[in-house]
């Protein structure tokens, strides 16, 4: 079975915009800013044989604050830059009670089934508690990118870092 690194999008690959200490996605393609070290980290992970799968909550679509085409445009732009295997975007809000919205692991589990992924040999990297909880529930190892957001923090994770670059070093250093 294959290994994967599941990645949140905003705050992991591209900059998240803080409003009152809470991260938000870019409002449009023009606001997308790739974080330092991301190209090298993704290339190294892919070169080591990991599938790269973005699992992202985009509730602003359900809330009417962002167009579906905007999210798809940002995902397409990132897919053109990096060796990302797949994007799994949840466009629901909490009230929709769907299986794909993190912290539920539905999107990770579906990707694992589609791609033949061994979740026990895979990682979830995210900057919010929902990312870490989804990875934990799916059976992945988890790496929390701690930016000091003023919101709920994850209760349990395998590693804490400050960048995807550092997370990639942890993952690559753990390889047999």
The catalytic position among 10, 60, 96, 127 is 10
Residues paired with residue 142 on neighbouring β-strands, in sequence order: 124
Is 10 in the active site? Answer: yes
Rounded distance between C-alpha atoms, residue 89 and residue 109, angstroms: 13
Rounded distance between C-alpha atoms, residue 31 and residue 83, angstroms: 21
**95 contacts 50 by C-beta, under 8 angstroms:** no
Q: How far is CA 37 from the centre of its chain?
A: 16
Q: How many CB atoms lie within 10 A of CB 77?
A: 14
Rounded distance between C-alpha atoms, residue 65 and residue 76, angstroms: 20
Is 60 in the active site? Answer: no
Task: Give me 9's structure tokens.
Answer: 């999008």
Q: Which residues are tagged catalytic?
A: 8, 10
């Amino acid at each position: 079975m294959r290994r994967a690194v599941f990645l949140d999008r905003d705050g992991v690959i591209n900059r998240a915009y803080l409003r009152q200490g809470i991260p938000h996605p870019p409002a449009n393609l023009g606001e997308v800013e790739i974080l330092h070290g991301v190209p090298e980290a993704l290339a190294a992970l892919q070169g080591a044989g990991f599938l790269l799968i973005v699992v992202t909550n985009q509730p602003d679509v359900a809330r009417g604050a962002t167009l579906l085409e905007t999210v798809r445009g940002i995902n397409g732009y990132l897919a053109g830059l990096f060796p990302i295997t797949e994007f799994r975007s949840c466009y629901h809000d909490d009230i929709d009670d769907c299986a794909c919205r993190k912290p539920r692991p539905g999107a990770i589990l579906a990707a694992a089934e589609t791609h033949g992924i061994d979740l026990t040999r895979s990682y979830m990297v995210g900057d919010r508690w929902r990312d870490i909880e989804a990875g934990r529930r799916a059976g992945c190892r988890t790496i929390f990118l701690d930016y000091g957001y003023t919101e709920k923090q994850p209760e349990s994770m395998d590693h804490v870092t400050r960048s995807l670059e550092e997370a990639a070093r942890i993952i690559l250093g753990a390889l047999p």
